[in-house]
Amino acid sequence: MTADEIIQTMTETMNPEQAKGKIKMTIVTTTGQERTFEYNTFSKNQGEKSLMKYVKPKRVRDQAILMLNNADDIWVYFPRTRRVRKLATHAKKQKLEGSDFSYEDLGSSDEFIDEYDAVLHRDEKKQRKVCYKLELTRKPESSAGYSRILMWVDKETFVPLVIDYYHDVDPELWEKELVCGDIELIDGIYTPMKIVMYNKLDNTHTSMEFIEIKYDVDLPDNLFTEMGMQK
């Protein structure tokens, strides 16, 4: 397989047509303090549309984030004021609720195809699995938030077990590492039930764990609208 074919297959694996789930997100600071959130998540059109609705803690309950066009367009709903605010285009590089994930990180992995040129290296092992090793370099015209990405894709499941992200300006500065684990076969789809993002510059990390996930769902298009955010 070519590098592009591997990324295409991985993208299809990680972005099923529709999905609905609940996620527990834990942010660990440099001092070891933890902050925990729970939110319901919905996605459609292979991740092109996604919606997050917070459940816990109480201070952010019913707050919602809508991302369309692979996180190029982002809206946030604030229940206290009942207002929806559209974020500026550059906001996709900002942290989500102070976590180690940016909005861009949570967008569809279509970005790996559209925004980067890929090269396939020799196979390597990660988590005792033989993996394709890929190096992605940002295209000159791209506005993606990382200059370079290394990823190790499991040859059996096509789940990316490890993704290393390099700084926007310095392609040699290792900024973040994503590790996928606890992979289960759900509705015929290989799913990492736990994902951890390590920030190598700030010495912090954030985990996302699926409490539940379903792929055999039929989500209405009007869910992914400003009105849908508020329901």
- pLDDT tens by residue, 106-161: 876 678 988 999 999 999 999 999 999 999 999 999 989 999 999 999 999 999 99
Predicted local distance difference test score (pLDDT) of residue 111? 84
Q: Which two tokens stand for residue 195?
A: 């994902």
Q: How far apart are CA 216 and CA 33, in angstroms?
A: 37
What structural domains and CATH numbers belong to the chain?
A: 3-229 (2.50.20.10)
Q: How far apart are CA 18 and CA 98, in angstroms?
A: 27
Q: What are residue 205's DSSP bridge partners?
A: 28, 198
Q: What are phi and psi of 121, to 5 degrees?
A: -105, -175
Predicted local distance difference test score (pLDDT) of residue 106? 87
Which parts of the chain have pLDDT scores under 50?
none
Q: What are phi and psi of 59, to 5 degrees?
A: -65, -20
Q: Using an 8 Å Cβ cutoff, are 76 and 63 in contact?
A: yes
Before 220, cis peptide (omega within 30)?
Answer: no
Give the residue carrying structure tokens 């996620």.
23
Name the nearest CA neighbour of 194 among 67, 21, 51, 30: 21
Predicted local distance difference test score (pLDDT) of residue 109? 67
* The residue type at 210: F
Predicted local distance difference test score (pLDDT) of residue 43? 94
Q: Which two tokens stand for residue 79?
A: 């229940």
Q: Using an 8 Å Cβ cutoff, are 43 and 230 in contact?
A: no
Q: Which two tokens stand for residue 226?
A: 């400003």
pTM for this model (two decimals): 0.93
Residue environment code for 111-135, b if the CB has 16+ CB neighbours within 10 A, otherwise e? bbeebbebebeeeeebeebebbbbb
